């Protein structure tokens, strides 16, 4: 068999194994080892695994993963999510659909200090859904806006997906973080605009609530500023340090984790039991991500040996496909994979194949990374996988709200994300303006 035939067989087998339930990291390692064995011999396959493991774990940049995960865990236990929602609800209390927009704004702020969409979905399902339903919003809209806005966690920096993409594409993680600011704010603004339009023209979908008078009675300017101060300080510390060139990504992760720890201690939310659980959960998440990156490193080396990326680039060139035709085909593939695989798995599978082709076209890898993450995030809220939707369902106290109802609630936001994706493709400067 030729290298191209072996690589195509590897991709088919890998998708089949993942679909049948095998862990994606294990599938990547087994398939990569087997393909190198077929092309060369077992000794080279063994050496390649050893080299991939050594290079992956010893790289300085891999310290970014546990540090940002640790920061997110501390933030999750110190009550920042509820305070963020209270402040946003008070600011937007007089607008039609105000609590829905407050949920989006809260998720955007929460995303800037956690970087994990699932954490946002879990936190705001508990906080925002009961509050919105109590004020007259429909169950469908309430759960839909929480599930949809949780995707901001992977777009607004810091972002775990950006770290994974940066490692796989061998591009600057700090630049990716900075590049995600404008697209993240753009998507949040589009979500808020959509809520305003639906509240005015589709009141049956959103509900009957016009304002949030209870927020006005509960909050004052002084109390709102007091609640917002820690959130703003932590965001300014991490993103300000990165944007100002004061910190590298790994230093920003360390400073952010320390800041979140101090915030948790000041609020007296971090008991010894919670502290231990935070450390254990950080270890579990970090090891899982690093294992996947290690497996992807081996997979990327195997694909390079087969010559598949170069062959695909040559094939597209022979067909006369330009940069945008390739990009549209790539986005379509990612959207399809998003219906059946989780976000990290999609990145591990497609990025090692696509990056060499994109480089052959002269594409900006930062721009490609932002487009990739938005396309991947659509999969978090689309059936049948929709992991954010299932997280909302698992966290809900109301068992009468089914999975189908949540998926129906997020569909308008899926259309909004696709529109944002089109804007990012048409105007690359939205992703690169702050980087250059």
CA 271, 273, 275, 277 dihedral sign is negative
CB of 407 closer than 8 Å to CB of 383 = yes
Alpha-carbon distances, residue 356 vs 287, 303, 376 (angstroms) = 28, 11, 19
Q: Which pLDDT tens digit goes with each residue over 164-208? A: 898 888 888 888 988 998 999 999 999 999 999 998 888 888 876
pTM here is 0.78
Nearest one of 287, 336, 270 to 73, comparing CA atoms = 270
Per-residue pLDDT of the chain (436 residues; tens, 9 = 90+): 677 778 778 878 877 887 777 877 788 888 888 888 888 778 888 887 787 777 766 666 567 778 877 887 787 777 777 777 778 877 777 777 888 888 898 888 877 776 667 767 777 787 788 878 877 888 899 899 988 888 887 888 878 888 889 888 888 888 898 899 899 999 999 999 999 999 888 888 887 664 444 445 566 778 878 888 887 888 888 878 877 778 877 888 888 888 888 888 888 878 888 889 888 888 887 787 778 777 877 877 787 777 766 676 666 666 667 788 889 988 988 888 777 677 777 888 888 888 888 888 889 999 999 999 999 888 878 876 677 787 788 778 677 788 888 889 999 999 999 999 999 999 999 999 888 6
CA 382, 384, 385, 389 dihedral sign is positive
Q: Work out the widest C-alpha separation in the chain, in whole angstroms.
A: 73
């Amino acid at each position: 068999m030729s290298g191209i035939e072996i690589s195509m067989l590897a991709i088919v087998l890998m998708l089949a194994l993942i679909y049948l339930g095998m862990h994606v990291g294990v599938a990547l390692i087994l398939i990569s080892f087997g393909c190198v064995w077929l092309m060369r011999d077992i000794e080279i396959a063994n050496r390649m695994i050893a080299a991939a493991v050594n290079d992956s774990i010893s790289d300085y940049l891999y310290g970014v993963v546990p540090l940002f995960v640790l920061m997110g865990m501390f933030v999750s236990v110190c009550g920042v999510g509820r305070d963020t929602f209270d402040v946003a609800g008070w600011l937007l209390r007089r607008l039609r659909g105000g609590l829905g927009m407050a949920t989006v704004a809260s998720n955007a702020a929460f995303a800037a200090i956690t970087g994990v969409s699932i954490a946002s979905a879990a936190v705001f399902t508990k906080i925002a859904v009961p509050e919105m339903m109590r004020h007259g919003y429909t169950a469908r809209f309430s759960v839909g806006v929480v599930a949809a806005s949780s995707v901001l966690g992977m777009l607004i920096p810091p972002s775990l997906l950006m770290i994974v993409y940066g490692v796989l594409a061998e591009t600057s993680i700090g630049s990716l973080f900075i590049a995600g600011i404008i697209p993240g704010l753009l998507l949040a603004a589009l979500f808020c605009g959509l809520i305003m339009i639906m509240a005015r023209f589709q009141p049956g979908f959103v509900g009957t609530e016009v304002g949030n008078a209870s927020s006005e009675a509960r909050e004052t300017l002084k109390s709102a500023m007091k609640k917002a101060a820690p959130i703003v300080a932590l965001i300014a510390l991490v993103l300000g340090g990165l944007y100002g060139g004061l910190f590298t990504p790994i230093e920003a992760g360390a400073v952010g984790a320390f800041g979140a720890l101090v915030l948790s201690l000041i609020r007296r939310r971090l008991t010894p039991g919670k502290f231990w659980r935070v450390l254990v959960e950080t270890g579990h998440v970090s090891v899982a991500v690093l294992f996947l990156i290690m497996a992807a490193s081996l997979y990327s080396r195997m694909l390079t040996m087969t010559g598949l990326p170069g062959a695909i680039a040559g094939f597209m060139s022979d067909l006369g496909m330009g940069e945008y035709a390739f990009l549209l085909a790539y986005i379509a593939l990612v959207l399809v994979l998003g219906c059946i695989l989780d976000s990290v798995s999609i990145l591990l599978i497609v990025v090692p194949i696509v990056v060499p082709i994109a480089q052959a076209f002269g594409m900006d890898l930062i721009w490609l990374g932002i487009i990739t993450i938005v396309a991947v995030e659509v999969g978090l809220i689309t059936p049948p996988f929709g992991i954010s939707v299932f997280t909302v369902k698992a966290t809900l106290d109301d068992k009468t709200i089914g999975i189908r109802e949540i998926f129906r609630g997020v569909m308008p936001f899926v259309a909004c994300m696709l529109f944002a994706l089109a804007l990012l493709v048409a105007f690359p400067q939205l992703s690169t303006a702050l980087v250059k």
